[in-house]
Amino acid sequence: MMMRFVAGSALALGLVGCMPVVSMEVLQPAAVTLPEDVRRVAVLDRSAPADAGQVVLGVVEGLFTGEGIQVDRDAAASAVDGVTQVLAESPRFDVVVPVVTSKYAQSGIFDGPLDAERAARICRDTQTQAIVSLEAVDSDTSTDVAAERRTEEDDEGRERVVTVWEASRTTDLLTAWRLYYPADNVVLDDLRDHGVTQSWTAEGRSKKEALAGLHSVRMAAVDVGRQAGVLYGQRIAPHYQIITRNYFTAGDDRLKAAKGYVQMQAWDRAAGIWSDVEQTALEPKIRARALYNLALYEEVMGDPWAARELVLEAYSIDPRPIHRNRVSELDWRIQQVSAVDAQMEPVHREPLR
């Protein structure tokens, strides 16, 4: 399978040293492999308080921490959105988010796992084979602000001492997730204390101005919640991520000319030029560069094994660290492709509807 290029800026050439870089999306394997029959997944939020006593606890926590009682709920909703987005974008699964009551989902921070009968019923009702459940959420936000005296120049070049207020806000979010597979009455994944932290800073001429430049406590929790959900989704589903690869354009005018075809994603034309350079260049260094670039072509076409052989040939002609490093990159990529192919096998046999 060919790699997908990042829209718009995918081939806007960055530079590593003097070498241009291409960015592309590749399908990465999940850390947790689900059974082959799991094609459709339900996502539940079981972290909501299930009774009045837990709501009162939430109120008390809010009073002592200075956080609104709704903050954790907003973070939980955002986490569910994040994991749902990753599952929906994954070519491995279909995903549903059923509308269920807390009682039906057996929600509550003091509750254990879903019982087997309830898990089976949820899958039956939603026509799914597995359940991703957000089991618990706890956010903690701290805010600091301090004044600092700095020397600045005014419009006329004269120095003056001013007071600048610096504010910072850090949100720590702990989530717990379970992945239920009712067919075998097992919990396939039980991830506790999954921590995500994010910080924001702002400056102002006054304390109020600096604080106003920060994310609100609620928005901070929402952002970190989504990040937690995305990370868990990537843990259980094959997902797209961006990788970068560099290539040579110096040393031969033909290598430079091929750059334009790379920018236009005209890979066959670029590869034709690189093949010509490899076959006709007199300097071993230039031949090795052409082989290195041809390896990029093979990887883009979905064959990292062929790419690895080309880089090994380049190294045999012109042994340099850049060739050894690329071989290591390709070894890792080959492992990833093999793992993804195994996880995607059910879809290859029977595509999702």
Q: What is the CATH classification number for the domain harbouring 281?
A: 1.25.40.10
Mean pLDDT of 71-79: 95
Considering the domain architecture, whether residues 182 and 259 belong to the same structural domain is answered as no
In a domain? residue 34:
no
* Residue 49, pLDDT above cutoff 90: no
Tell me which range, 56-70, 146-160, 211-225, is most confidently predicted by mean pLDDT: 211-225
The predicted-structure confidence for 279-332, as pLDDT tens digits, reads as follows 999 999 999 999 999 999 999 999 999 999 999 999 999 999 999 999 999 999
Which region among 5-9, 44-48, 117-121 has the lowest average model confidence (pLDDT)? Answer: 5-9
Enclosing domain of residue 303: 249-345
Task: Single out the residue in 237, 270, 291 at which a domain terminates.
Answer: 237
Task: Single out the residue in 237, 260, 287 at which a domain terminates.
Answer: 237
d(CA 276, CA 287): 10
In a domain? residue 259:
yes
In a domain? residue 15:
no
Considering the domain architecture, whether residues 51 and 198 belong to the same structural domain is answered as yes
Q: State the alpha helices, DSSP H only, in 45-163.
A: 52-65, 71-89, 116-126
Characterize 9-36 residue by residue with b for buried, 16 or more Cβ atoms within 10 angstroms of its Cβ, and e for exposed: ebbebeeeeebbebbbbbbbbbeeebee
d(CA 312, CA 77): 49
Considering the domain architecture, whether residues 60 and 175 belong to the same structural domain is answered as yes
Considering the domain architecture, whether residues 189 and 135 belong to the same structural domain is answered as yes
pLDDT (0 to 100) of residue 102: 62
Q: What is the mean pLDDT of the chain?
A: 87
pLDDT grade for 351, boundaries at 50, 70 and 90: confident
pLDDT (0 to 100) of residue 98: 83
- What is the total count of domains within the chain? 2
Which region among 25-29, 147-151, 156-160 has the lowest average model confidence (pLDDT)? Answer: 156-160
* Residue 4, pLDDT above cutoff 60: no
Considering the domain architecture, whether residues 104 and 138 belong to the same structural domain is answered as yes
Task: Single out the residue in 237, 268, 289 at which a domain terminates.
Answer: 237
Is 190 strand, coil or helix? strand
Considering the domain architecture, whether residues 98 and 126 belong to the same structural domain is answered as yes
Considering the domain architecture, whether residues 81 and 217 belong to the same structural domain is answered as yes
pLDDT grade for 160, boundaries at 50, 70 and 90: confident
In a domain? residue 70:
yes
Considering the domain architecture, whether residues 81 and 205 belong to the same structural domain is answered as yes
